[in-house]
Structures are given as structure tokens and as C-alpha cells.
Amino acid sequence: MHLFGGQQLTHKTLGGMADKYGPVFCIRLGSHDVLVLNSWEMAKECFTVHDKVFSTRPNIAASKLLGYDFAMFGFAPYGSYWREMRKIATIQLLSSNRIDMLKHIRVSEVKTAVRELYKTWLSEGIEERGVSVDMKQWFGI
């Protein structure tokens, strides 16, 4: 746990550990062992071939309190409820039809971002010099 308390973001710390220990390794977070996958091939195998083994979560007090007595999909343990929620999420929320239906929102967000960048350039930048923009703020890095 001491590795996650530094200045570096968690995903970068885990990426560095994957470079050192390989694409699949275990770490201990508190009293629980955690399997870290840094390979899409391994993630695909874990969530298709061995999905019953990896889909359950430990029953801890934080999950019960934050997940409204395990009612939230991300905190629910494996079982009939979890399978039903997974089905709803994949068929209703993440289907290609639903993603196409909400495409206009993504397009609008990109247009708004470009418009704001242009306004910043107009207000602060001189045409010959340009303007410096901190992209970390935009992408949440």
C-alpha cells in the first residue's frame, strides 16, 4: 500500500509494477489479495473463460455501505442478481444501438471542448505567438 501513497497516480504505479513483474501479478491490499492484469489477452481470458471465478467481490463493510447493501452492480457479489445486472448493462447500456443513440452527446462534448479552446486562443493568444493550454486539466491526468 505504501507504493500508492506517493506523488504518482495509481494507474502509473501499477503500470510500473507490470513492467517490473510482468503483465499478471498479485498484490495485497489490506487483508485481500488482488490480481492485477496489464494485458488485454489475460483480461479477456479472465472475463470470458474464468468469469465465475473473477466476478465475485469480497463482502466488506465499505461495499455494503457504499453499494446500498450490495445493490450497485460494481459492488454486488456473484449470483443471480449480479448476472441479471450484467445482462442489463451489456444489452441495454453498452449495446451498439445504445451507443449510436447517444453519439450526439459525445459529438456535442467534443465540439464544446474545441470551441472553448478556440475562445481561449482568441482571448489570450496573439495569432503569431499562440497560447499554452494545460491538457492535463482537460483529460483528468
H helices present in 1-141, as ranges: 10-21, 40-48, 51-54, 61-66, 80-88, 96-101, 103-124, 135-139
Say if 41 falls within a structural domain: yes
Say if 72 falls within a structural domain: no
Q: What is the pLDDT along the chain (141 residues), one digit of tens a residue?
A: 566 767 788 888 888 889 999 989 998 888 878 888 888 888 888 888 887 777 777 778 888 888 888 888 778 888 888 889 889 988 888 889 988 999 999 999 999 989 988 888 888 766 667 777 788 877 776
Domain that holds residue 19: 1-54
- Cβ atoms of residues 115 and 106 within 8 Å: no
Say if 93 falls within a structural domain: no
Say if 78 falls within a structural domain: no
Cα separation, 50 vs 48, in Å, equals 6
Say if 75 falls within a structural domain: no
Say if 77 falls within a structural domain: no
The total number of structural domains that make up the chain: 2
pTM of the model: 0.46
